[in-house]
Amino acid sequence: MASIPPEEHPEAAAPAARPDRSAAESAVRTLIRWAGDDPTREGLLDTPARVVRAYEEFFAGYLEDPVQILSRTFAEVDGYDEMVVMSDIRFESHCEHHMVPIIGKAHVAYLPDRRVVGISKLARLVDIYARRLQIQEKMTVQIADTLNDVLEPKGVAVVIEAAHQCMTTRGVHKPGATLITSRMLGAFRSNSTTRREFLAMIGLTGAGPLNNT
């Protein structure tokens, strides 16, 4: 969020601290040597440039402002006041502890209060936060709170289900393990019928407020 000064928003990188491309490529060469290989051998010569370009894609979310994306809303909804649910929004993110992929899907819902946003904006919102270094819990909160703050709906619900490669390919090696996080605001928090209706729509039904099985 560019509008917030860095000192009040420690997660935002100070723009002045951003290295140039050749410094980034040189860091990749260091990691190749750290892995035990030779960055000057033929197969690896173009790798630093490719990795740096890939990083531009993986972390494009730092250059986009989610508030601006959501700011264009539509007030003409002909009295539509039921929940809007976008389910199974696939995303790719990177864990901020190991910088390896987090791959999963987000389900985003809100209960409109006069205004709605274009549906592609919900997917964009997920992508902007996914394309940053993340932990899943923080990403869940960021998506829900931004939607809530900008749209001011009667409620917001976000559920994220994801597999963390730092758990599946290293460390405890638990392939297939999925982490589920959720944030319920407004009517989704206070009204269990609304919450259950949402969880049923995204295929998470069960006895508890959020069925983790």
The CA distance from 128 to 50, in Å, is: 22
Task: For tokens 């864990």, name the residue.
Answer: 95
- Which amino acid type is present at position 158? V
Is 173 catalytic? The answer is no
Dihedral angle at the C-alpha atoms of 43, 46, 49, 51, nearest 10 degrees? -20
The Cα–Cα gap between 106 and 87 comes to: 7
Only segment of 30-38, 103-111, 165-173, 204-212 that touches Zn ion (CB under 5 A): 165-173
CB of residue 26 to Zn ion, shortest distance in Å: 25
The CB-of-135 to Zn ion minimum distance in angstroms stands at 8
Q: Is 68 a catalytic residue?
A: no
Tell whether residue 135 is a contact of Zn ion (CB under 5 A).
no
Which position among 92, 165, 166, 197 bears the catalytic label?
166
CB of 140 to Zn ion, least distance (A): 16
C-alpha 18/C-alpha 12 separation (Å) is 11
The single residue among 98, 114, 138, 189 that binds Zn ion, judged by CB under 5 A, is 98
- Identified binder of Zn ion from the candidate list 83, 86, 95, 144, rule CB under 5 A: 95
**41 three-class SS:** coil
Strand, helix or coil for residue 39: coil
Judged by the rule CB under 5 A, the positions of this chain that interact with Zn ion are: 95, 97-98, 166
| Active site amino acids | 95-98, 136, 164, 166
